[in-house]
Amino acid sequence: MKLVADASLRRFDDGRTVAGGSPYRILRLTARGSELLDEWLAGKPVTSQNPLVRRLVRSGMVHPQHETGSLRAEDVTVVIPVRGPRPSALLDALAGMRVLLVDDGSPTPIPGAAVRHDTPRGPGAARNAGWRLADTPLVAFLDADTVPEPGWLDPLLRHFDDPDVAAVAPRVRSRKGDSALERFERTCSPLDLGERPGPVRAGSRISYVPTAALLVRTETLVELGGFDESLRFGEDVDLIWRLTARHQARYEPAAIVEHAPRPSWPALLRQRYGYGCSAGPLGSRHGENVAPVRLSLWSALVWLLVILGRHRSALVVTGAAAVLLTRKLGAFGIPVRESITLAVRGNLGAARLLADCAGRAWAPLAIPPLLLSKRGRLVLAFVAARHLAEPRELDPLRHALARVAEDAAYGCGVLRGALRERSTTALRPVLTDRGGRASVPVGGDPA
């Protein structure tokens, strides 16, 4: 395989200090390690089991690029949970592959289904019933309303030549359409994780991947016991977090699967509400993984002071944090200017994270008190206006209104889930004592 640099990768001190990834990391390399990284980024093939390669790939600073792979389509069983009409378009796209349909209590039995549940038991139970019949090394989960693009499987299969990789997910894009809803989902679907590849890990840029389309080692499903069937929503996030606690998972946007948008705006809001309801149970199972926001104590203090109107104090705290970060990073060859830039970006990023949280996970709790004061209403205006900077196909007003509505639906679900679980885990922020948005573990890999 070869390595390609992530957009976040930066190098300092003649290449011996590398920074980037998600969460943001800084690694100090030996002189030989720096030379090897130069060679790899220039295109020299490398093995995934090299310790330095593994560390760089797992951090998200670089990404593996596999030109070939040993596994083929015949090594995959596709499991499709269905509750409704037979998914003809999907089955046509999978012609020649081994496919198991699981009828999850459809009103009219689906012809050719390998398993039929008399009553609906949910997607987790349907997927479990399917993969347990598989006798191939890999299982692909595809939702009935998806259709993979030609060539979708090969980019995923190549990752499994790395024995540490247990799951790979393609990009799931909402199907193109002309209606306002279809155009909105095309740019704002929660299933679409973007065009950048990366490792999947809680608390990182790609903190989960949906099982609307996912390729997994069968032996890993056996090890984990499959999906938690008690979860109606969030069963895919639960599986991924249990998997990544032991193994590696990758997101590969070179493979694309199209997903049907919701049939109506009320259906979209019900879906987002359901996603929010899963946060409570997930918090009970995975703790801080489900935190609505992660930021440093410094950034939290800065923006608390801004909201309270203590702007001078906020500037003082920002300056103090920048000085401390400059001293800390200077020991690893990072220039003062870059350290200050990181501090500023960290605080600006924290503002966006807090705005996302206030308008989304905390919306039912945050919006009423903020409406009571002029300063609070200004904060809410910023919270709503942040959507105007997003990629969109709708006009700005309709896009912003749709985003505010879906955020509020999600937040109501989060609150409902937290009350059901009698736990505030899904509402509590995670604060760190490190400057900037992300933690900065420092280390080196002798090569």
What CATH code is carried by the domain that includes residue 122?
Answer: 3.90.550.10
Q: Record the pTM.
A: 0.91
Q: Look at residue 282 and tell me if it is in a domain.
A: no
Q: Look at residue 145 and tell me if it is in a domain.
A: yes
Do 179 and 150 lie in one domain? The reply is: yes
Task: Name the residue among 134, 139, 144, 141 with its Cα closest to residue 110.
Answer: 144
Do 93 and 164 lie in one domain? The reply is: yes
Predicted confidence band of residue 338 (pLDDT cuts 50, 70, 90): confident
Do 56 and 77 lie in one domain? The reply is: no
Distance of CA 289 to the CA centre of its chain: 12
pLDDT computed for residue 340 by the predictor:
87
CA–CA separation, 249 and 208 (whole Å): 9
CA–CA separation, 402 and 377 (whole Å): 19
Do 309 and 367 lie in one domain? The reply is: yes
pLDDT at 238 over 90: yes
Q: Look at residue 278 and tell me if it is in a domain.
A: no
Q: Look at residue 114 and tell me if it is in a domain.
A: yes
Q: Look at residue 270 and tell me if it is in a domain.
A: no
Do 107 and 253 lie in one domain? The reply is: yes
Give whole-number Cα distances, 292 to 17, 54, 239, 279, 287, in Å: 31, 29, 19, 9, 11
Enclosing domain of residue 44? 2-65
Q: 387-411 pLDDT, tens per residue?
A: 998 999 999 999 999 999 999 999 9
pLDDT computed for residue 447 by the predictor:
31
Predicted confidence band of residue 279 (pLDDT cuts 50, 70, 90): very high
Do 385 and 432 lie in one domain? The reply is: yes
Q: Which amino acid is at 100?
A: L
How many helices (H) and strands (E) the chain has is answered by 16, 17
pLDDT computed for residue 433 by the predictor:
64
pLDDT at 434 over 70: no
More confident position, 447 or 424? 424
pLDDT at 445 over 70: no
Strands 213-217 and 138-142: antiparallel
Rg (CA), the chain: 23
Q: What is the mean pLDDT of residues 263-282?
A: 96
pLDDT computed for residue 437 by the predictor:
33
Q: 432 has which bridge partners?
A: 296
Q: Look at residue 90 and tell me if it is in a domain.
A: yes
- Asked, as a colleague might, if the bond just before 23 is cis with ω within 30 of 0, I would say yes
Q: Look at residue 273 and tell me if it is in a domain.
A: no
- Percent of the chain at pLDDT above 70? 97
Q: What is the mean pLDDT of residues 125-131?
A: 97
Least confident of 242-246, 290-294, 317-321: 317-321
Residue with structure tokens 């992300």? 438
Q: Look at residue 236 and tell me if it is in a domain.
A: yes
Q: Which helix (H) or strand (E) holds 141?
A: strand 138-142
pLDDT computed for residue 321 by the predictor:
85
Do 23 and 81 lie in one domain? The reply is: no
The residue out of 244, 261, 278 marking a domain boundary is 261
Domains contained in the chain, number? 3
